[in-house]
């Protein structure tokens, strides 16, 4: 479990940053990445290498959402804490305002969302550089992201399927579903999505790959008013034919009060999983309250009684299965695929914002009860982080 002193220090780093949107420029835990290639997408890069990293360890590529940066996303989702415990390396590509004023990865831009071009190639170059410099296992490279970062995760999995063993898309969109800004907003709201066959064809056309496709973990809140919940089903529809799975999920269960469905390939290996986070809006699902939790709740980092960071690592085989503290109910395989949910759209006919600006908040309701709460609150007050 993370020490209180580390929590206080990281909160202080956010407070001292003083930026208008509440995000620090770079977490002190991350190191800038230089000289990784031609960088046609003009992205920044940061890495985190834990002290316990062993040769041939895994690499996880983490892609932030709009208005965020590498450091704030790491603090919120708890990725470097997870890396400390389990000994894998982290790579954080980071957008610049000169590329996108809202710091969104340009997942819909034809110049950035295809193989060997723009931002996609910059991220590929970062992966190659970090893998070589730290003697990481090229067969254990994974990618994950939130919202625009989740959509860019779809891009990387489609454009470079030979590079990634697996991906995790949080509140994201399927690959190739938009090529203009108006189309991007339509797809975010669940309008005009290509058919299942068209979606799968887009991935197949993105490269000449003929091997085993990356596994996929999909996370989405049912009350997401920024990227409609229907996008989760569209991503499943895009990747199921590639893995040649049945239409119906092979496993259905409840974990932490949220539904999980999984599809297996011909060998019985789970290749696609989907977590439906009941009642959650747009953001990363977190478990910040239990002893086994990771991350810090705040803007688009949402307490949901389940750690997406932890469960994604378990799906990838980077963390041993441990169901301590999680309500888990396994049922029989579903007889038929679930109907695509009607997207929850709280903003009616208005164009949905990519992200609203906000700051990390750490009120009384995010801490444990009793003496531990008092210790934390006293420490926060001493650090000037709580009144």
Q: Regarding beta strands 258-264 and 270-277, do their DSSP bridges make them parallel or antiparallel, or are they unpaired?
A: antiparallel
Q: Is the pLDDT of residue 20 over 90?
A: no
Q: Is the pLDDT of residue 267 over 50?
A: yes
Predicted pLDDT of residue 260: 98
Please identify which of the residues 24, 57, 109, 147 carries the catalytic annotation: 147
Mean confidence (pLDDT) of the chain: 82
> pLDDT confidence of 190, banded at 50, 70, 90?
very high
User: Is residue 136 a contact partner of residue 199, using CB atoms and an 8 Å limit?
Assistant: no
User: Higher confidence at residue 346 or residue 80?
Assistant: 80
Q: Is the pLDDT of residue 378 over 60?
A: no
**Closest among 199, 127, 132 to 164, alpha carbons compared:** 127
Predicted pLDDT of residue 54: 80
> pLDDT confidence of 322, banded at 50, 70, 90?
low
pLDDT tens digits for 148-183? 999 999 999 999 999 999 999 999 999 999 999 999
pLDDT tens digits for 25-77? 444 699 999 999 999 999 999 999 999 898 889 999 999 999 999 999 999 99
Predicted pLDDT of residue 335: 36
Predicted pLDDT of residue 45: 98
Predicted pLDDT of residue 181: 95
pLDDT tens digits for 81-137? 999 999 999 999 999 999 999 999 999 999 999 999 999 999 999 999 999 999 999
Q: Greatest CA span in the chain, whole angstroms?
A: 59
Predicted pLDDT of residue 195: 95
**Integer angstrom CA distances of residue 75 from 69, 80, 97:** 10, 8, 21
276: tokens are: 């439906």
User: Higher confidence at residue 323 or residue 126?
Assistant: 126
* Torsion on CA atoms 107, 109, 115, 120, rounded to nearest 10: -50
User: Is residue 161 a contact partner of residue 214, using CB atoms and an 8 Å limit?
Assistant: yes
Look up 147 and say whether it is catalytic: yes
**Integer angstrom CA distances of residue 224 from 27, 126, 167, 194, 200:** 28, 31, 21, 21, 25
Predicted pLDDT of residue 386: 42
Task: Annotate 302-337 with DSSP letters as a single string.
Answer: EE-SS-HHHHHHHHTTSS----TT--EEEEPPPSSP
Provide the CA 13 distance to its chain's centre, in angstroms: 23
Mean pLDDT of 277-289: 96
* Torsion on CA atoms 344, 313, 79, 87, rounded to nearest 10: 180
User: Is residue 31 a contact partner of residue 47, using CB atoms and an 8 Å limit?
Assistant: yes
Rounded distance between C-alpha atoms, residue 367 and residue 387, angstroms: 15
Predicted pLDDT of residue 320: 80
Predicted pLDDT of residue 365: 34
Q: Is the pLDDT of residue 78 over 60?
A: yes
23-358 placed in CATH 3.40.50.300: no
User: Is residue 217 a contact partner of residue 315, using CB atoms and an 8 Å limit?
Assistant: yes
**Closest among 225, 147, 231 to 193, alpha carbons compared:** 231
The residue extents of the domains of the chain are 23-358
Q: What is the DSSP letter of 368?
A: -
Place of tokens 């441990």: 322
Task: Please give the order of strands across the beta sheet that includes 44-48.
Answer: 31-32, 44-48, 89-94, 59-63, 141-146, 166-170, 215-221, 270-277, 258-264, 251-255, 328-331
Predicted pLDDT of residue 352: 36
Rounded distance between C-alpha atoms, residue 381 and residue 261, angstroms: 43
User: Higher confidence at residue 376 or residue 153?
Assistant: 153
Q: Is the pLDDT of residue 380 over 90?
A: no
């Amino acid at each position: 479990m993370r020490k209180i002193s580390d929590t206080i220090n990281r909160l202080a780093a956010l407070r001292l940053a003083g930026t208008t949107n509440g995000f620090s420029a770079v977490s002190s835990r991350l190191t800038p990445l230089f000289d990784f290639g031609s960088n046609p997408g003009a992205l920044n890069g940061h890495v985190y290498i834990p002290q316990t990293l062993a040769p041939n360890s895994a690499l996880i590529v983490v892609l932030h959402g709009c208005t965020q940066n590498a450091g704030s996303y790491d603090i919120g989702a708890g990725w470097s804490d997870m890396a400390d415990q389990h000994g894998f390396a982290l790579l954080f590509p980071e957008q610049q305002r000169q590329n996108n004023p809202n710091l969104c990865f340009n997942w819909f831009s034809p110049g950035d969302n295809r193989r060997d071009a723009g931002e996609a190639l910059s991220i590929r170059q970062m992966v190659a550089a970090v893998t070589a410099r730290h003697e990481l296992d090229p067969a254990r490279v994974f990618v994950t992201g939130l919202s625009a970062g989740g959509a860019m995760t779809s891009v990387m999995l489609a454009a470079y399927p030979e590079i990634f063993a697996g991906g995790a898309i949080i509140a994201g969109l399927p690959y190739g579903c938009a090529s203009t800004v108006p189309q991007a907003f339509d797809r975010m709201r669940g309008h005009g999505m290509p058919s299942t066959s068209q979606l799968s064809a887009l991935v197949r056309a993105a490269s000449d790959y003929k091997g085993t496709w990356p596994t996929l973990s999909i996370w989405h809140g049912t009350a997401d008013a920024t990227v409609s919940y229907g996008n989760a089903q569209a991503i499943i529809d895009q990747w199921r034919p590639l893995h040649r799975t049945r239409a119906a999920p092979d496993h259905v269960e409840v974990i932490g009060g949220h539904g999980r469905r999984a599809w297996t390939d011909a060998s019985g290996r789970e290749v696609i999983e989907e977590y439906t986070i009941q009642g959650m809006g747009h953001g990363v699902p977190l478990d910040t309250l239990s002893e086994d939790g990771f991350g810090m709740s705040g803007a688009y980092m949402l307490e949901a009684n389940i750690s997406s960071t932890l469960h994604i690592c378990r799906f990838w085989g980077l963390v041993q299965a441990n169901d301590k503290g999680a309500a888990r109910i396994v049922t029989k395989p579903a007889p038929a695929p679930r109907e695509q949910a009607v997207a929850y759209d709280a903003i009616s006919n208005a164009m949905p914002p990519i992200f609203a600006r906000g700051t990390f908040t750490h009120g009384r309701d995010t801490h444990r009860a009793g003496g531990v709460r008092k210790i934390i609150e006293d420490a926060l007050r001493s650090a000037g982080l709580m009144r």
